[in-house]
A and B are shown apart, each in its own frame.
Chain A
Amino acid sequence: METFKLKIDDRQINAGGGDTVLQAALKAGIYIPNLCYDPRLAPYGGCRMCIVEIEGTRGFPAACTTRASDGMVVKTYGPQLDRLRLDTLELLLSDHPTDCLTCPGNQRCELQKVASFLGYNQRSLKPRKSDHPIDDSNPFFNLDRNYCVLCARCVRTCDEVTGINAIELINRGDESRVSTFAGSRLAESECRSCGECMVSCPVGAIHAKNSPVATEETATICPYCGVGCGIYLGTRQGKIVSVRGNEASPSNRGSLCVKGRFGINEFVHHSERLKSPRVKKEGGFESAEWEEALRIAGDKLSGYKPEEVAVIASAKATNEDNYVLQKFTRAVLGTNNIDHCARL
């Protein structure tokens, strides 16, 4: 890859081919306020937060839509830039609730980060009250347009990542909003509930219905289809409370479907999970200790000739589970009668 040097805020930065000014800055640890930027999406230049000054260029180009180039000299702050950003923020906040503590986006909100970075602490425009009804028709996440900043990350994700195109920005100016086709609720739309929009939303506008913050995360693999998506299981007090896609996984690069993102914790923690061995006796199943269950299974299996027994293995279990099972079948039961549902 071609690399070159540019100067951002008087620092020499190395950048690679294809990097935008924003990407080069972020990689170098220089924060430029931004809202509509998502590394998975094409540059958009919608929120005007990442404006910069570039020597030899007129005006204030958006860093997210400007390619970095060799020898470029960029300034990310200054009296004029700061003033413009604050004005943009002021306009955004004139239409945005400030009940941060009770907002589902609290502490994860990129708007909070921008406001705090810019030192915004006093409203000068009178806030307007918006009262869009909340779309809570999806079982896993809500769409609350009152918090929306119209960055279009959800809409672009639904187009550029999933290709589902369930939502779109409609109307213009003051009337702009995120909408499904014909304005139906999410549950009645083309939405497949993958939640990719929710992941991209920088504020609390699309938020999980139930999302306590995990205290630990474990990298593992989704247990559903054969794609083998890398996931992080977020846990708290011994329970799975969140799932997110692993961006570093080459199989899914961070994407997930509805089952992987929302369909894991309930079965893992389900009250009907088998907790102890059971042995069928007259009148039905009874709980048993391992010792008893293993004795019955082992002793009885010992009593059959190899051609009288068979084993069905599992396409859900691990390689190690299946290896031991086929070894057991062949080496202990003495038969090759082992198969699984590869054909089903």
Chain B
Amino acid sequence: MLGSGAMTNSIGDIALAGCYLLIGANTSETHPVIGFDIKQAVKSGSGLVIINPVKIPLVRYADLWLRNKPGTDVALLMGMARSILDEGLADLDFINERCEGFEEFKRALAEFDLKTVEGITGVGAKDISRAASMYARGNPSSILYAMGVTQHSHGTDNVMAIANLALMTGNFGKPGSGVNPLRGQNNVQGACDMGALPDVYTGYQKVCNPDARSKFETAWGVKLPDGPGLTVTEMFKKIDQGLIKALYIVGENPVLSDPDAGHVRQSLEKLELLVVQDIFMTETARLAHVVLPAVSFAEKEGTFTNTERRVQKVRKAVELEHGKALPDWKITGLIAQQMGADGFSYQSSEEIMTEIASLTPSYAGISYKRLEEEGLQWPCPSNEHPGTSILHVERFARGKGRFMPLEYRPAPEAPDSEYPLLLTTGRNIFHYHTGTMTRKSAGLNALSGQELVNISTGDAARLKIKDGDNVYVSSRRGKVAASARITDDVPEGLAFMTFHFAESAANILMSADNLDPIAKIPPLKMASVKIARI
């Protein structure tokens, strides 16, 4: 609806927001340094509205905390839009000049009077309209979100509901505004930019676009497949059906990171060939037929692209000790050469960046020479271009910003008598993702050494669970053990776990079905579970 999948603004300018709307993000824990900035901005007078069923640490700094029922974000955000419209706070000039589809969107808002929204979300009408007013009057206001928004069966709707709010209040194209997804991994933005996705080449050039395809065919000197490939979750389905027989995994640990992890393991065991390339013998590598040793970030040259689209230089600080590991690009190139392919005999990572820049309009002006000085934010279309700190300044990447009329769709997996609680997942500040790196640190393990499943006092009393008890958390897909932490940071009916601990792998519990229909994201933030003392 805007035409670009990235943070619209920069970390440096989000500090200029008059009001923050923080939704589906636990920024002080997952992006701690941005958390520092938000706290300082709030102390110097910016407003902070938090939408989250969980009482995240930043709630203590918030002017307003909307504790909606899990999975009801679309209804809440549409309610806020309705309130902005009814109160006359919409930026009609911006809407007329830069957007389309507003009339249809207005009609969709008819379903979202605040009484109805209150009924769906559990948030009082007064609070909804106060949040709407704070956001609309922030001048400028910035929306920050993370996986709590996207990892739902209706994740795309959530994102569109967020963009609607920003469009109707003109919060685009200026410092301190925008729609800002906080990306979770150091180079998840870069992996997307590089076309490590089934439907695009580098810089989001569509594989279905014949012009793009023919450009890459010419550059690479081969005929390329048309039509998009499979997403990770679809790959596993095809493995089960016996249709995908060989899989090459680089630097990921789906046995812990993917939903329905027990099933992921079974699927990987069915493969005729599994090649895993990593820096450690991960849970996934143990299932491989061939394991290829890669060097870590500290032992190689390259670039990462951060959450604000800034391409930055990664430099080699240490030599590999007594090992034969190689940079990932070199290993992949060697496999390609083994298979008789041309075009993979790169001598350095710099040579690869030159090729990337030549084929990618948004990276065209990026070179190692320039990156020596400082990072560059894409789009950076030429050598003279300074990079782009704010997107959509004059116009949206797709031309006009398009309003999306939305409906509220309840989450498919609702609690029932057998699995009466909802489980949501996230990270803590001390560990990272599946713990492959951080759990090697004695100090970080001392600060956070085991999974603590957060359970509300009400649920704990009913389940006769005390703080520190060992419990089983079970879903339709599996069962894991963890220690209980009794806290009203989670509301009654909701439990919270991280996915850092292999011995309490929360993703065994989550569903790989009910994907978001567009983004194919699994609903990692919601599963029905039961919890019982061991």
Contact = CB atoms under 8 A, between A and B. Distances in A.
Nearest to B10: A250
B229 interface: yes
A264 interface: yes
B280 A326 contact: no
A100 interface: no
A133 B12 CA distance: 41
A120 B438 CA distance: 46
A324 interface: yes
Contacts of B334: 290, 294
B534 interface: no
Contact of A324 (B192, B199, B289, B329): B329
A267 B440 contact: yes
A69 interface: no
A274 B280 contact: yes
B56 interface: no
B332 A325 contact: yes
Nearest to A262: B443
Contact of A338 (B198, B299, B315): B198
Interface centre among B304, B327, B436, B446 (most CB of A within 10 A): B304
A220 B225 contact: no
Interface stretch (B93-101, B344-352, B453-461): B344-352
Interface in B211-231: 216, 220, 222, 224-225, 227-231
A274 B291 contact: yes
A308 B34 CA distance: 42
B416 interface: no
Which of A274, A316, A328 gathers most chain B CB within 10 Å? A316
Nearest to B289: A280
Nearest to B182: A226
A235 B243 CA distance: 48
B324 A276 contact: yes
B293 A274 contact: yes
B333 A324 contact: yes
A225 B30 contact: yes
B451 interface: no
Interface residues of A, number: 106
A251 B182 CA distance: 13
- Residue among B150, B246, B307, B316 with most chain A CB within 10 A: B246
Contacts of B419: none
A336 B225 contact: yes
B229 A310 contact: yes
A138 B240 CA distance: 47
B435 to A, nearest CB: 10
B203 to A, nearest CB: 11
B335 A297 contact: yes
A300 B246 CA distance: 9
Contacts of A139: 442-444, 446-447
> In this complex, which of A187, A259, A334 has the most chain B Cβ atoms within 10 angstroms of its Cβ?
A259
A273 B346 contact: no
Given A310-B229, A318-B303, A280 B318 contact: no
Contacts of B429: 192, 257-259
Contacts of A338: 195-198, 229
B160 to A, nearest CB: 17
A252 B31 CA distance: 11
A322 B225 contact: no
A1 interface: no
A123 interface: no
A221 B304 contact: yes
Interface in A236-271: 238-240, 248-252, 255-259, 262-264, 266-270
5 contacts: A225-B32, A267-B441, A273-B296, A273-B325, A316-B251
Interface of B: 10-12, 30-36, 39-40, 43, 61, 150-151, 182-199, 201-202, 207, 216, 220, 222, 224-225, 227-233, 235, 238, 243-252, 254, 257-259, 272-273, 275, 278-281, 285, 288-294, 296-300, 302-308, 310-319, 321-329, 332-336, 338-341, 343-344, 346, 349, 352-353, 355-356, 374-375, 429-432, 436-438, 440-444, 446-447, 519-522, 524
